[in-house]
Structure 1
Amino acid sequence: MKSFVKSLRLKNHLLTAISFLIPVVCGAGFMIAIGLAMGGNSSADLTKSFTFWDALAKLGGTGLGMLPMIISTGIAFSIADKPGIAPGLVVGLAAEAIGAGFIGGLIGGYMAGWLVLATIKYVKLPSWANGLMPMLIVPFIASFIGSIIMVYVIGSPIGWLTAGLTHYLSTLNGTSKLFYGLMIGVLASVDYGGPINKTVFAFVLTMQASGVNEPITALILVNMATPLGFTAAYFFGKMFRKTIYTKVEVETIKTAFPMGIFEIVEGVLPIVLNDIVRCVVATGIGGAVGGAISMYFSANSKVPFGGLLAIPTMTRPIGFIIGLVANVIVTGLALALLKKRVTAEDEEKEDTATEADLNMDDIQIS
């Protein structure tokens, strides 16, 4: 049984789909964040009178509304390659229509992909009709069966499950919120935009699609705070008269800081890879503090991405800012205390490695 589940590669297909999803979330998220920050209305009717900011907010919101279809299409494509695209899209649309939302799109993507594989394997046509398989037979059968199952069998239960989970999260008390935020903060911060972070992102995005904004706000906070915390660690190191970064790492910080303002955490990876354990411990501690504070104060971003641009969309921005500052300070202090002092030998090793990468003897002119 375990080997069978492993052969399904559920996690791999989900991560592939999320890699397609994130650019849409980033693009549409920035659009709606900027639009709302400038006074736009995401519910504006673009067939009537509207402002530029109304259009930006509306288009960004429309893009985010397509996430069930995008996750479904991405999973189906990962499972069945190009033949999975059309059924994945149609089943995702069915999930949205029946109110199954993001979770419905996610489950529908697996269903559509497996239906495509089953159709290709078991449906046999005369040789003269084989040309109809990729263009007509496969997309029709997989889309038809998948949509019917979504609408008449699994769509409503998924909707009930989502509603129940939404109600539970909406009624959490202070202690439960702290623990829940702590878990989001730790899990989101320890792999710097990797598989764990993406899995947490998929979950909290599901919650936001159901109207619960606090979990994804905690994720936004932690993703911002990690690069900012690495920057703060540099200054704490100076206060402690302790050099914690090499010259190359200091240059990395100069790039990672502005990336962090807009919630792009991967800028710190070159530093993390040089000292994984200490960096993970420091960011995990900081993420736990920031996530817990954000959830406790019910900070609630109306957009799933944007970093600093998400703050104007919040009805409780003060709680977010308090959590962000706390996360940055804790991460910075922990990193400054945990990291070893950089020695002249460390700098020399790094210079040697850089020279090896840029060895002029390797350049050949033919």
Structure 2
Amino acid sequence: MSDGFKKGLNTAKMHLNAGFNGMLPLIIVGAIGMALSSILPKDGIFGDLFAFLNEIGLKRFDVFIALIIGQSLSGKVGLASGFILGYYSNQLGLGIFGGIVVGFIAGYSGLAFNRMKLEGSTKALLSLVVLPVITAVVGFFLIKYGISGPVKFIQDSLVNFLNNVSATSSVLLAIILGLMFGFDLGGPINKTAGLFTMISLTEGIRGPITYAAVAYMLPSMAAGLAIMLDRKKVLFDEDEHVQGPSVFALGFLSLSEPALPMMFSDMKFMVPANMICSALVCGLIAGFKIESTLALGFLNFAFMNKAILGVIIYLGCLALLTSLILIRRKFLYNKENCEEA
């Protein structure tokens, strides 16, 4: 694989992550609307509110991801193009994959335009009038006759796979997702599993988003707990002890990234341990058929259909187990380094 290709791939991943991060607030809005609709009456003003939250959060988020990717790649030039193509992709029901594909089309088109040697009023006229019109016309035919078929096939195949696996073995699906959640804590494998959960939520399958919410809590809770259990400060340095309580608290918001420094300091050992513990907690939740409509940290528990105390106990035990593994490995790691010195 050439260096140029690797660089381009890494750049595309960066802009894709920007799209995911920009899309998350809308997904959360939709999830909150779904959660509230399960406990409040659906008639009258509440019904209108839930329909509105569902519309912007779970039915239009793909427009936003296209817009964000377009803007991330080419600045203001990509905003209008991203919206235009994203909106049409949404109308055809191409889902998140369609939003991603057309976002990159808009972004790279805008990037090519930015590289043209234009100045002053000419550049302004082209960017405000000509480029959006060309994008709309060319994008219409490209999406309708070139992209929609393959993207729709991938989207439908993925949804059918989720439905079939959830129907036949939800525990197996949960274990696979748990292994992916625990692998790279916010990296591409983790993000791919997150993509599954978002698609499943928009299709009314709530199990995977529940697994994600709890699995994302585990690493930071475990890392923070391990630091706080090191009362004599022999395993972790002063900076880590200052960060420990914050890392633990951020785990309650389903943020796994704060655990990266601690979990990846000994990747060959801690990554498999974290994957196993994440798979265990996801498998337990699936086994007891526990679902939630809200993937927002500790608030997730308030919208679970049953066994809330059980989930808290599972999560607490596995966080403690992971933290003890981390402490033990840290002790052995430090001992090995002292002997080598």
Same fold per superposition (TM over 0.5):
yes
Correspondences of 1:16-165 after superposition (within 5 Å)? 16-22=15-21, 24-26=23-25, 29=28, 32-33=31-32, 36=35, 49-50=45-46, 55=49, 58-59=52-53, 62-116=56-110, 131-165=124-158
Q: 1:68 offset after TM fit, Å? A: 0.3
Look up the SS of the partner of 1:262 in the other structure: coil
- C-alpha separation between the residues in 1 aligned to 2:291 and 2:142? 35
The answer (yes or no) to whether the contact 1:166–1:207 under 8 Å persists in 2 is: yes
**339 and 309 in structure 1: CA distance in 2 versus 1, 3 angstrom threshold:** same
1:293 to 265, 271, 284: 284
Indicate if the aligned counterparts of 1:33 and 1:313 stay in contact, CA closer than 8 A. no
SS of 2:45's equivalent in the other structure is coil
Q: Which amino acid aligns with 1:340?
A: F
Q: Which residue of 2 aligns with 1:350?
A: none
Partner of 2:329: 338
How many angstroms does 1:133 deviate by? 1.3
Determine if contact 1:40/1:55 at 8 Å carries over to the other structure.
no
Amino acid at match of 2:24: V
Q: Which stretches in structure 2 are left out of the alignment for 5+ residues?
A: none
Amino acid across the alignment from 2:83: L
SS at match of 1:198: helix
Partner amino acid, structure 2, of 1:15: M
Distance 1:4 1:110, change over 3 A: farther
Alignment partners' CA distance in 1, 2:292 and 2:67: 26
Q: CA deviation at 1:135?
A: 0.9
Question: When the two structures are superposed, what TM-score results if normalisation uses the length of structure 1?
Answer: 0.73
Identical counterparts, % of pairs: 24
CA shift for structure 1 position 105: 0.8
Match of 1:182 among 170, 175, 186: 175
Q: Any idea what the Cα deviations from partners look like across 1:262-297, whole Å, max 9, x if unmatched?
A: 112233344346555444343222122223333444
Residues 26 and 253 (structure 1), Cα distance of their counterparts in 2 relative to 1, 3 Å cut? farther
Structure 1 residue 317 displacement after superposition: 5.3
What whole-Å deviation, never above 9, does each CA across 1:167-189 have from its counterpart, x for those lacking one? Answer: 22222268854443333223322
- Secondary structure in structure 2 of the residue aligned to 1:9: helix
Q: Does 1:15 align with 2:14?
A: yes
Match of 1:210 in 2: 203
Whether the 8 Å CA contact 2:62–2:95 is kept in 1: the answer is yes
The whole-number CA distance in structure 2 between the counterparts of 1:100 and 1:42 is 31
Q: Distance in 2 between matches of 1:272 and 1:232?
A: 12
Equivalent residue letter for 1:149: L
> Cα gap change, 1:28/1:199 in structure 2, threshold over 3 Å: closer, same or farther?
closer
The answer to whether the 8 Å contact 2:175/2:283 transfers is yes
Question: Partners of 1:173 and 1:128 in 2: how far apart?
Answer: 56
d(CA) in 1 for partners of 2:37 and 2:239? 38
Q: Is the 8 Å Cα contact of residues 13 and 78 (structure 1) preserved in structure 2?
A: no
Q: Which runs of 5+ in 1 are unaligned?
A: 347-366
Q: After superposition, where does 1:165-244 map in structure 2 within 5 Å?
A: 165-172=158-165, 176-233=169-226, 244=235
Structure-1 residue corresponding to 2:236: 245
Structure 1, residues 222-249: CA drift from partner, whole Å, max 9, x if none?
Answer: 11111222244457778xx995434443
Give the match for residue 262 of structure 1.
253
User: d(CA) in 2 for partners of 1:128 and 1:220?
Assistant: 50
Which structure: larger Rg?
Answer: 1
Q: Report if the CA contact (8 A) 1:28-1:61 is conserved.
A: no
Deviation at 1:102, TM superposition (A): 1.1
Residue deviations 1:110-161 (CA, integer Å, cap 9, x gap): 2333444567789x99x99655211111111112222333244433553343
CA separation of 1:30 and 1:99: change in aligned 2, threshold 3 A: closer
CA separation in 2, counterparts of 1:35 and 1:207? 13
SS in 2 for 1:137: helix
What is the match of residue 351 of structure 1? none
C-alpha RMSD over aligned residues: 4.2
Any conservation in 2 of the 1:74–1:85 contact (CA below 8 Å)? yes
The aligned amino acid for 1:97 is: Q
Aligned CA distance change for structure 1 residues 10 and 275 (closer, same or farther; 3 Å): closer
Cα distance in 2 between the residues matched to 1:18 and 1:42 = 37
Please state how far the C-alpha of 1:31 moved relative to its aligned partner. Answer: 8.1
Q: Is this contact kept in 2: 1:186–1:288, CA < 8 A?
A: yes
Tell me how many residue pairs correspond in the alignment. 334
